[in-house]
Structure 1
Amino acid sequence: MSKKKTIGTIRFELRKGVRGENGKLPVSLIYSIKGNRKRFSLDQTILSEYWDAKEQRAFYIPQREAKRKLNHLPVNQLLTEIEINEINDILDSVEIDIKAIEDKFLALSIPFSSQTVIDALISKKPDAFKVEEKTDLVFDYIDRYIVEHEASREAGSLSVYKSIKNHLKAYQDATNHKVTFEGIDYSFFNKFQNFLIKRTKTDKAGNINPMLNNTTIAKALSTLKTFLTYAKKEGVKVNDSFRDFTIKREKLEVIALEQNELQNLIDFDLSNNKRLDKVRDIFVFACATGLRFSDVQQLKAEHLDNESINIVVKKTKTALTVPLNIFSAGILEKYSELNKPLPTISNQKLNEYIKELCELAGIAKQIEIVRFFGKKRIVTTYPKFELISFHTARKTFVTLSLERGMSAEEVMTISGHEDYKSFKRYVNITEKRKKVVMLKAWGAPKERKLKVV
């Protein structure tokens, strides 16, 4: 993380003329403005062997090397990497506090000197900077992860990291258990999972309900694992035992249109409703191509030729070619006079109108949704149109393509699915697929007469 520059000059150094216990030297802050220097002694001492004068920070010496270099010291007095990090965290916090003090003086238009800044610092830190683990380190790294990936990731995909940060802060507040990289181990994951299961919210009627279902909790835990792996690659020391924690995932329903429902939608008379007619065309186009909303939205004339759509997928940043078919080509032809290949509607409005459209078209089959909140099983029944969103089109493309006899590999190359693990839940979605692929591979049986007993 880049440090914000202060107005004054900050230096940390060891006071070599003053030796304490076991030859340790006190760490001093030297702060100056326009040549006016003030020295402030921090409540930190360290052996000179652990100090990098150029970097003005402590550095870790592996235990084996430290035993050789500092053989006059008992092993229990050698500094661990955690202790080194704690000292450096204190020095970092001093710099941050000085910057905040300077900013406050500037905001209030109050002149300040090196002495007034040091006085404010002493007032802010009456305990003279006793070693205390920096509790917001994990949260800072989550913020850093979000900032560093804003340019390369969709906002929606980063929102899960903001969510996990909020859950971790809630856990820390509720349990008074500091959330640190070293502390996030196998045991932590068990406790954190139980905490998420027990979280509740109060509805408008005053009823207390579980806040998160098991599916959402599994996603949060998976996100935390991904983040810890990222932090480790960045050089942060994490507790590897978190990898042993197994996340239990429940099988989710795949909401997709059946062939007759899609055909009813295509045939539905919307001659008197231009708004829903456009919505239908965009939705059916996605059903026939498997494109996500972000890719339909970015579609331009240069992405099209007579046979296919050629784009770089926004989510994965990979090149994708989608062959045109009778449905997708027909819709593009309908809007050929527009500046863009398709009409433009916001995602929020599109999802709202799709539900309205599907209700009008009679797509109202009752769908049972099962969710678990801890051990509690909750079953809710919805008319199908309430569960349909734009993303349903992508699921429809996959399921109907499979039912029509396309192989999983063929569908994946068109839809852009790179991970079979996330794709395979579609493969056995309907019994119709079994019949289609059997007849394609082995031929249709002759009609046979059943013997009546």
Structure 2
Amino acid sequence: MGTLRFTLRTDKIGKSLKCPLELIYQISGQRKKVFIDSKLNAINWDAESQTAIYITPIKAKKIFPQPYKNLDAVILMDSEVEEVNNSISKVKSDINDIEKRFELDKVPYTAQMVIDRFKNNKSEKTQKEEHRDLLFDFMDKYIKDHELTREKGSLGVYRSIKNHLHAYQAETKHKVRFETIDYAFFQRFQNFLIGRTKTNNNGEVSPLLNNTTIAKALSTLKTFLGYARRHGIKVNDSYKDFSIKREKLEVIALNEDEFTALLNIDLSQNKKLDKVRDIFCFSCASGLRVSDLEQLKREHIKNDEINLIVKKTKTELTIPLNKISYSILNKYKDQNKPLPLISSQKLNEYIKDLCELAKINDPIEIVRFRGPKRETIIYPKYKLIHIHTGRKTFVTLSLERGMSAEQVMAITGHTDYKSFKRYVDVSKKLAKVVMVKAWGEVSNLKAV
């Protein structure tokens, strides 16, 4: 059996700043090289472990030798790192199969013979799969067709499910096609996702996905199959019978006291956090998503209302201003933009600092399941707060202040009551507020 080693050819860096990965195969003193179908940046390659590694954008900017403007496009995402490592594993498996075939046939082999067979198999496979990869080709088409109508982040889950399907196909050796994705496939694929693992830099192995992420992946696959069926592709309809178990997620939102604490905290000596508070509290008082905060212009604000086309859903929304949202806009009336926005990454970081300063630190238990295993972590609340918490805070506080679910949904743009209902369930004060609104305060009632 020969030895395999992978090396990143940094001497062949391309315009994309990524380098090709080369396989070095050696046996009996003979050594041959061949490029594999993976390219990555040097900071994403760990030569010692022979694997691609994930580097956060913040860390990458600190260690990258040159200040490239498009660094975020150069470094690999989690899913891309996973794809490269799957490709490496597949190459190892293919070489091992070639060696075993020679040995079973009792044919003495050289390094050149192994690499030639590897190249031929790769070429034959490419030719055969040109007409057999309809599912993956159609998935690429789906992503491309929706690039202009969907948020970039929302399409990421489709790229992720594609990577998971490729990994499943490589590990099980079962070709994934539209006609083979039935009820039984969903069961096998779910078990495969539960069993996926990742290894950190210390060699510790842990599950790659939790049950919530797995449920999202399976739901996305169902949505994609329905889309394919509507476009005339023959799909095995038995997949519809597979039931996806979804876990109830925690709703992290500020309560009335916490929101008041944020509004009243003295930030006269901290202009940065003062602006961050205004952005976050505006979201809490309007229910706007960060994507709509970013697109907000003065032309959208007329007659004490915000009127805009929601970036995510492409629907028109009208949001009445209240005393809090109005006062924040009025504070920046002399500036070009209604709000002093900064990047989402910095905003989320500073919001945590702001909430910690406001002593929003009640312990919050986060429970997740990986297969049957229950994992619990307790965080101080400020660590779980980010810009999207503002929208959730608007919903919960509006309900607690007596607005009906229908009224709140009309302002936030929610159209599915099933997804909205979790806010109604989590608002413990809601029943009392509704009772008082309908029947009056207890102090005003006379005992019979």
TM-score by length of 1: 0.70
Find the counterpart in structure 2 of residue 302 from structure 1.
299
Find the counterpart in structure 2 of residue 112 from structure 1.
none
How far does residue 205 in structure 1 lie from its aligned partner after superposition? 2.5
Q: 1:380 to 1:129 in 2, by over 3 A?
A: closer
Query: Which secondary structure state, in structure 1, belongs to the residue aligned with residue 341 of structure 2?
Result: coil
Contact 1:289/1:397 (<8 A) preserved: yes
**Counterpart amino acid of residue 177 in structure 1:** H
Q: Which blocks of at least 5 consecutive residues in structure 1 are unaligned?
A: 1-122
Q: 1:132 to 1:256 in 2, by over 3 A?
A: closer
How far does residue 206 in structure 1 lie from its aligned partner after superposition? 1.9
Q: 1:335 to 1:170 in 2, by over 3 A?
A: same
| Mapping of residues 48-447 of structure 1, within 5 Å | 134-446=131-443
Find the structure with the greater CA-based Rg.
1
Q: Distance in 1 between matches of 2:201 and 2:246?
A: 30
How far does residue 132 in structure 1 lie from its aligned partner after superposition? 7.2
How far does residue 130 in structure 1 lie from its aligned partner after superposition? 9.8
How far does residue 203 in structure 1 lie from its aligned partner after superposition? 2.0
Query: Which secondary structure state, in structure 2, belongs to the residue aligned with residue 379 of structure 1?
Result: strand
**Counterpart amino acid of residue 164 in structure 2:** H
How far does residue 323 in structure 1 lie from its aligned partner after superposition? 0.2
**Counterpart amino acid of residue 212 in structure 1:** L
Contact 1:135/1:178 (<8 A) preserved: no
Q: Distance in 1 between matches of 2:398 and 2:146?
A: 34
Q: Distance in 2 between matches of 1:387 and 1:145?
A: 33
Q: Which blocks of at least 5 consecutive residues in structure 2 are unaligned?
A: 1-119
Q: 1:408 to 1:127 in 2, by over 3 A?
A: closer
Percent identity of equivalent pairs:
65
Q: Distance in 2 between matches of 1:310 and 1:288?
A: 15
Q: Distance in 2 between matches of 1:344 and 1:384?
A: 24
Find the counterpart in structure 1 of residue 64 from structure 2.
none
Q: Distance in 1 between matches of 2:425 and 2:318?
A: 25
How big is each residue's C-alpha offset from its partner over 1:266-310, in whole Å with a ceiling of 9 and x where there is no partner? 111111111111110000000000000010110111100131100
Larger relative helix fraction: 2
Q: Distance in 1 between matches of 2:271 and 2:293?
A: 19
Query: Which secondary structure state, in structure 2, belongs to the residue aligned with residue 256 of structure 1?
Result: coil
Q: 1:448 to 1:214 in 2, by over 3 A?
A: same
Q: Bigger CA drift: 421-430 or 280-289?
A: 421-430
Q: Distance in 1 between matches of 2:307 and 2:171?
A: 51
Q: Distance in 2 between matches of 1:397 and 1:405?
A: 12
Q: Distance in 1 between matches of 2:154 and 2:302?
A: 31
How far does residue 344 in structure 1 lie from its aligned partner after superposition? 2.1
What value does the CA root-mean-square deviation take over the aligned residues? 2.2
Q: Distance in 2 between matches of 1:149 and 1:131?
A: 29
Query: Which secondary structure state, in structure 2, belongs to the residue aligned with residue 428 of structure 1?
Result: helix
Contact 1:135/1:179 (<8 A) preserved: no
Q: 1:273 to 1:129 in 2, by over 3 A?
A: closer
